[in-house]
Amino acid sequence: MRILTLIPGGISDQILFFPTLKTLKEQYPEATIDVIVEPRSKNAYRVCKYVQEVLLFDFYDKNGLADYLNLLGIIRDREYELAITLEPDWAIAFLLWLNGIPERIGYQTKNSWFINNPVPQKTEQYNAFMYHDLLKGLNINSPCPDLTINVPKEDIDWVESEQKRINVKTTGYILIHGGSSPLTVVQGINKIYPVSKWQKIIDSLQKKQPDLPIVLLCGPDDLEWTKEILNLCPLVKVISPPDIGKLAAVIAGANLMLCTDSAPMQLSVAVGTYTIALFGPTEPKKLLPPNSHRFIGIKSSTDEIADIPADKILEQIWKSSEE
């Protein structure tokens, strides 16, 4: 059996879909599962063991007839028996129908004409639960499993070497990720917490726990932010994982993860690191597991992430250290 899943969105969306892929693999252990994702999300599957092949299609680009015909050919060549799509565009469902895929699962919308097993979309719940609901179209009603990932051993080895290099191997560390992808900036969503407030948090942490190192996660889009923090807080350390597997391993080694709503936040949940995440307009309940004391979301009262008081974050840090 060959299964196709179509998952638009960024790396966070892919990680939140991993529990659905896990249940699919458990229900159909002999099946081959492929995914179609946007090019920016391909790397997520370095830490997912349920997928055979990662195919690329930019769902939100200005796709012309040639792009859809190319996608049609890719799908047809592989002769899928089941397709599950998160993409609401009727044109994608039409391609699945045109390919003759017998089982086509998607959310129920006014345009879901080519979905033969539509599922109601309950958008107010945790997104991993919402995605997992699609399996009800296959009469699979098992609970959604927790987020988990599979970190390659070579990535764990790399991180252990880096931990020795920055001298945090034996002490543990607090990890901070304050960056934001260029796409969110283009979309007008500011997920960057002010450097001055990070400085206040870092100064307080270093004063109360001087022996616990603070490490900044620095990706390609975080260079300016990292430079500003280092100018104000020269004692912090920096680590720059080159791929998502090594990023996940860095997060897994931390005592505490402080971050904004981002892909690293989802990795932190998946590896079980105690996490305090900052949110602007987004509701934390949609992106963090419910009823968990390990993953705390702090939402801005104004929907602007910059307006979250540093003292509120520090209060939660000290509260978590006592638990």
Instruction: Identify residue 222 by its one-letter amino acid code.
Output: D
Q: Homologous superfamily of 153-322 in CATH?
A: Glycogen Phosphorylase B; (3.40.50.2000)
pLDDT tens string, the chain, 323 residues long: the values are 999 999 999 999 999 999 999 999 999 999 999 999 999 999 999 999 999 999 999 988 887 888 888 888 889 889 999 999 999 888 889 999 999 999 999 999 888 889 999 999 999 999 999 999 999 999 999 999 999 999 999 999 999 999 999 999 888 999 999 866 555 555 556 678 999 999 999 999 999 999 999 999 998 888 999 999 999 999 999 999 999 999 999 999 999 999 999 999 999 999 999 999 999 999 999 999 998 899 999 999 999 999 999 999 999 999 876 66
Domains 2-138 and 153-322 alike in fold: yes
Domain layout of the chain by residue ranges: 2-138, 153-322
DSSP 262: S
Q: What is the DSSP string of 68-86?
A: HHHHHHHHHHHT-SEEEE-
Residue 40, both tokens: 């920016």
pTM: predicted TM-score of the whole model, two decimal places: 0.93
Q: Give me the helix-helix angle, 195-208 and 223-232, nearest 10°.
A: 50
Let me know if domain 2-138 sits in CATH 3.40.50.2000: yes
Q: Quote the Cα angle for 103-66-109, to 5°.
A: 40
DSSP code of residue 265: H
Report the alpha-carbon distance of residue 227 to residue 191 in Å, rounded. Answer: 18
Query: Phi and psi dihedrals of 32, rounded to 5?
Result: -100, 125
Could you write out the DSSP letters of every residue in 24-53?
HHHHSTT-EEEEEE-GGGGGGGGG-SS-SE
Q: Which residues pair with 106 in a beta bridge?
A: 118
Helix (H) or strand (E) holding 319: helix 310-322
Distance CA 133, CA 17 (A): 11
